[in-house]
Amino acid sequence: IFSNSDMDMFANTVQGTIEGDGGGHEVDQNWLCSTTEVPTLMNRVVGISRMSRHTNMGEGANEVKFFILVLCPTNIKGTKTALETARTFATLFSDMSLRHSLLESQVDLEVKAYIRKAAHDISNRQEKAEIDMSKTEADNEPSFLQPFRGIRDDLARRLPYYWSD
Cross-strand partners of 69: 34, 47
User: Would you state the pLDDT for residue 114?
Assistant: 92
Check whether 16 has a pLDDT greater than 70.
yes
- Computed over every residue of the chain, the mean pLDDT equals 79
Mean pLDDT for 39-43 is: 87
Check whether 112 has a pLDDT greater than 70.
yes
- For the whole model, what pTM was predicted? 0.65
Note the pLDDT tens digit of each residue in 68-78. 888 888 887 77
User: Would you state the pLDDT for residue 109?
Assistant: 92
Check whether 61 has a pLDDT greater than 70.
yes
User: Would you state the pLDDT for residue 135?
Assistant: 61
